[in-house]
Structures are given as C-alpha cells and as structure tokens.
Amino acid sequence: MFKIDKDLLQNCKQLAESDRFSYLLHHNAEVVWFILVPHTEIRELYLLDPELQQQGYQQINLLSDFIQSHFSIDKINVASIGNVVPQLHIHVIGRRCDDAYWPDVVWGKKFDKKRESTEISRISAQLSAYLARH
C-alpha cells in the first residue's frame, strides 16, 4: 500500500487522491503551493515508466491551469527537488511578484501565515470539482 512521506504530511494537507497521484496543499498561506505525489517508490522523475511520466506531466499541467484560473498569480514554478524528502514529489507553486519570498525560492523558509481550515476546505472543494471536469 502506498504511503505519503510523513514530512510531506506534516507540512501539507492532502486534498485529493486518484489511483496514481495524491494532491497536497502546503500549509504556508504566503503562496499557492501544491504538491503532486505520484504513487510509486521510484525517486526520480526521469526513471518513471513512460505512461506514469506522461500522466504526471498532465497532472502538473492541470494543477498549473487550476492555479492560474483560481488565484491571482504572476508566475507558476514547477520543481522536483527531493533533497530533504526523498519521496518523489513535484511542487507546483503560484507566485506573485509581491509575495513574501519573491524572487527567491519558497522551500526551506519559515512562514508566519498558516492556511486556515476554512480556506483549505474551499480550495479542496474547488480542486475536486476542477479535477472531476478534466
């Protein structure tokens, strides 16, 4: 049975899950920060079988479009780092030129503004509806 790394779950709320991916929202409310976790033990994006890799890119595109259409952002950052959490996961982050970290990266930074449960519920419902349509 697939399990999401405990460090990811400590920093994020799981919003949705399909048979091949989990969709997480980072607790940091300073930016719109989603994390896509493929259901695999493989740790590198380039090592995924071609079908899962293609599905992953489709999900990245869907998350990017969701962010662009539901939030006021200037730029979308996509990254698969894995230096701290080795489990394969992809950051899909909506950035604004006036966000707390611009133009620096967001990971590894302390944050003061944690996302509230009502906002998480709203975003979760919006994402679920969006994914169901696509």
pTM of the model: 0.95
pLDDT confidence of residue 108: 86
DSSP class of residue 1 equals: -
Structural domain contains residue 1: no
Give bridge partners of residue 76 from the DSSP assignment.
Answer: 94
- Show the domain range for 31: 6-133
Q: What is the DSSP string of 53-105?
A: HHHHHHHHHHHHHHHHHHS--SEEEEE---SSS-S--EEEEEE-TTSTTTTS-
Nearest to 101 by CA among 30, 35, 33: 30
Structural domain contains residue 21: yes
Nearest to 67 by CA among 21, 15, 9: 15
3-state secondary structure of 28: strand
User: Which residues in 3-30 are b (16+ Cβ under 10 Å) and which e?
Assistant: ebeeebeebbbebeeeeebbbbbbbbbb
Structural domain contains residue 93: yes
The number of domains in the chain is 1
Say which CATH number the domain at 125 has: 3.30.428.10
Mean residue pLDDT across the chain: 96
pLDDT tens for 117-128 read 999 999 999 999
Q: Tell me the average confidence (pLDDT) per consecutive run of 10 residues in the chain, 134 residues long.
A: 94 95 97 98 96 97 98 97 94 97 92 95 97 94
- Do residues 74 and 96 make contact, with C-beta atoms less than 8 angstroms apart? yes
Structural domain contains residue 117: yes
